[in-house]
């Protein structure tokens, strides 16, 4: 009888851990959502990472989670800290340059055309939703890689670091104003969405967090979805094609909302692509070359050591 009880307890423990691994994060997300709605705030990625840690703890992977996610969290926290600092110390703001580039490329300002000819409430809300995904998508996708494609997770983290820090350097050296700041007649639609909802979500973000207003180029809102799409396509191939709706939706929304020029979008795509190539191709190539060089040096040392030992043994024989 006791044996049956112990067997039932043993069989219950793993299943209960799986239930808690899913159930507790779900409860946490519900509470977090209610809190954010009540106080009109948007949580940062650190709140999502805490949710993932709860899952990892009840999946008996907490030690691996801390080891693997500490670099990701460090990148995020340091980026946020330096992002505000860069906004405070940046030099002359470039307002006319992106306008001139848009006029040369398109003969007009696409944001003006979209807002004057095609603006409608459904596009306002759709644009706000796509634009807001920037806050959560990189962290959620990182968790997907960590759980399902671990060998790509670390490369994704490296690419994320390269992308964000290269963008920070650009923000410092070449601060660029967005369309809502530099173009007459362009509306900052996100604030209009606040007014229609009756909840100052975006104004609270910009007033409380005080983000850098002159970090339009390159557009990280455009770069991060593209980086996610590149890794999804690399892993899942044709099955991942639907994910392209994500970056295209963000690109349209960024221009339509008046937050970025198309040249900012192009810059974001270029930065993300370069970061992806460095993480996936250049760094592994350098590591392979270094490993081959070390291996070659070891082989040379072995060849040198063998004749030396033979000559030493020959000398000992002659002495005898």
Residue 309 reports pLDDT greater than 60: no
Question: Taking CA 311 as the corner, what is the angle to CA 307 and CA 312, rounded to the nearest 5 degrees?
Answer: 115
Torsion from C-alpha of 242, 243, 245, 250, nearest 10 degrees: 180
The beta strand positions in the chain, using DSSP E, are none
pLDDT band at 52 (very low <50, low <70, confident <90, very high): low
**Which has the higher per-residue pLDDT, 136 or 178?**
178
pLDDT digits (tens, 9 = 90+) for 178-215: 999 989 889 989 888 877 777 666 666 665 555 678 88
pLDDT > 70: what percent of the chain?
Answer: 66
Quick one: three-class SS letters along 107-162? CCCHHHHHHHHCCCHHHHHHHHHHHHHHHCHHHHHHHHHHHHCHHHHHHHHHHHHH
List of domains in the chain: 71-297 (1.20.144)
């Amino acid at each position: 009888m006791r044996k049956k009880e112990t067997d039932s307890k043993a069989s219950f423990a793993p299943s209960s851990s799986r239930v808690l691994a899913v159930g507790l994060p779900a409860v946490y997300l519900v509470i977090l959502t209610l809190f954010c709605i009540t106080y009109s705030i948007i949580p940062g990625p650190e709140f999502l990472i805490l949710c993932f840690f709860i899952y990892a703890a009840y999946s008996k992977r907490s030690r691996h989670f801390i080891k693997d996610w500490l670099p990701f969290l460090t990148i995020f926290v340091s980026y946020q800290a330096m992002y505000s600092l860069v906004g405070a110390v940046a030099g002359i703001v470039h307002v006319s340059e992106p306008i001139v580039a848009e006029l040369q490329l398109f003969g007009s300002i696409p944001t003006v055309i979209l807002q004057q000819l095609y603006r409608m409430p459904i596009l306002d809300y759709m644009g706000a939703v796509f634009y807001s995904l920037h806050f959560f998508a990189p962290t959620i996708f990182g968790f997907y890689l960590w759980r399902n494609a671990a060998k790509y997770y670390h490369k994704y983290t490296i690419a994320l670091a390269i992308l964000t820090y290269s963008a920070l350097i650009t923000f410092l050296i070449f601060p660029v104003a967005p369309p809502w700041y530099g173009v007459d007649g362009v509306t900052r639609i996100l604030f209009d969405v606040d007014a229609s909802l009756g909840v100052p979500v975006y104004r609270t973000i910009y007033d409380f967090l005080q983000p850098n207003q002159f970090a339009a180029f390159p557009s990280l809102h455009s770069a991060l979805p593209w980086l996610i799409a590149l890794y999804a396509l690399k892993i899942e191939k044709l099955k991942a094609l639907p994910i392209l709706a994500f970056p295209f939706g963000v690109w349209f929304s960024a221009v339509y909302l008046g937050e970025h020029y198309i040249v900012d979008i192009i810059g974001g795509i270029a930065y993300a692509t370069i970061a992806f190539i460095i993480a996936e191709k250049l760094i592994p190539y350098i590591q392979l070359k270094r490993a081959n060089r070390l291996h070659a040096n070891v082989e040379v040392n072995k060849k040198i050591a063998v004749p030396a030992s033979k000559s030493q043994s020959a000398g000992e024989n002659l002495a005898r």
